[in-house]
Chain A
Amino acid sequence: MTRQQVLDLYFLDARHKLIEIAAFLDRVDRGSGEADFRLDAFREAMKHLADGEPKRAETILMALSDPTREPIGIAPGKGAIGAWPGRS
């Protein structure tokens, strides 16, 4: 596809998601109390959006991933939360 075709197909969708992220961050700012490591991870991952490097989706997924190799002792539960606390 040409860049023009990509913009024609996806610009409005991407614009919508960008504004949703901005509104989410505004919502967090308006909230009370302390945030946790997820917000730090989110802000760090967001930097890759504007760094001009290719493979942004892969880079952001890695920024939110556990990069270690050793299995953990016991599963603490069943769910995942979307960011790795070990980076903070």
Chain B
Amino acid sequence: MRYIEPHAHMVSRVTDDYVAMVTSGCAAVCEPAFWAGFDRSSVQGFHDYFCQLTEYEPKRAARFGLPHFCWLCLNPKESEDAAFAKDVLAIVPQFLDRPTVLGIGEIGLNKNSRNELKVLEWHVDFAARHDQLILVHTPHLEDKFKGTRLTLDVLRADSRIRPERVIIDHVEEHTVKMVLDAGFWAGMTLYPETKCTPARAVDILDGYGQERLWLNSACDWGVSIPLNVPRTALEMRRRGWSAEAVDRVIYQNPVRFLSQSPRFRVE
């Protein structure tokens, strides 16, 4: 079995996780920029984080033969301070040409505030001006439905945005249809307590087809399971999916989306 982990926060994970992923068939890992669990106190803090994502973490992954790619942005949990967000966005161009950068992400909304929305619009404009792929985080729990609708409003309002170059992540049963109907890709995040379980993710695949959908563990410093993509593959096999159908979802689909960036390559 082979798979792509298209969303994992490996800076928060231990080296054993790399070993487990590679020995389970992981062929590449992609790491969006996210919240560290605390607010950075300066733009320099983001500069250092972007260096970690583009320099150190690819080297750490390479020790285990795993290609590591990343996405850059200021995450929505730190976008309430719009002036600070603008300063952070201003340093992103320094990193855009680095060889493992795939696009802008994970941008989006957290509590659906006006400033978050403004910062999301800036990121979308930035991605459009720099012709970048976009990875969107959708809010947690009670805020997800509203935040997904607001996000779609922002993306559809910008005529430069091509839906096939945008993935909207963390969809669940109440948001997946609106994302797919609008022509975007949708990501399902496999968490033990929130977002999707493996069983529910396969239900969604059964209900909405296997086009423009991918699976990710989004493993980070919280309660999460780095091997939840291969565990969901096991769930598919238990339900009688063929090996080819499993491969299409956990390998071919992410490769199809990510290959829109010329920097994404897997053996």
Contact A65 B113 (CB under 8 A): no
The 5 closest A-B pairs by CB, nearest first: A75-B111, A80-B141, A80-B140, A65-B145, A58-B173
Q: Contact size class for B?
A: 20 to 34
**A74 and B142 contact, Cβ closer than 8 Å, known pairs A9-B238, A57-B173, A62-B174:** no
Complex interface: stretch among B114-122, B179-187, B225-233? B114-122
**A71 and B239 contact, Cβ closer than 8 Å, known pairs A65-B144, A66-B145, A80-B139:** no
Q: Contact size class for A?
A: 20 to 34
What separation, in Å, do the CA atoms of A57 and B175 have in the docked complex? 12
Contact B142 A82 (CB under 8 A): yes
Taking CB as reference atom, which chain A residue is nearest B116?
Answer: A75
From residue A25, how far is it (CB to closest CB) to chain B in Å? 18
Query: In residues 104-129 of chain B, which contact A (Cβ within 8 Å)?
Result: 110-117
Residues of A within 8 A of B143 (CB): 65-66, 80
**A61 and B117 contact, Cβ closer than 8 Å, known pairs A66-B146, A69-B146, A82-B142:** no
Sampled A-B contacts (20; CB under 8 Å): A9-B239, A58-B173, A61-B172, A65-B144, A66-B142, A67-B145, A67-B146, A71-B112, A71-B113, A73-B113, A74-B80, A74-B113, A75-B110, A75-B116, A79-B140, A80-B111, A80-B140, A80-B142, A81-B142, A83-B141
Count, A-B residue pairs, CB within 8 A: 81
A55: interface (CB < 8 Å): yes
**What is the interface of chain A, defined by CB distance below 8 A to chain B?**
1, 9-10, 13, 55, 57-58, 61-62, 64-69, 71-84
8 Å CB contact of A10 from B112, B139, B150, B199: B199
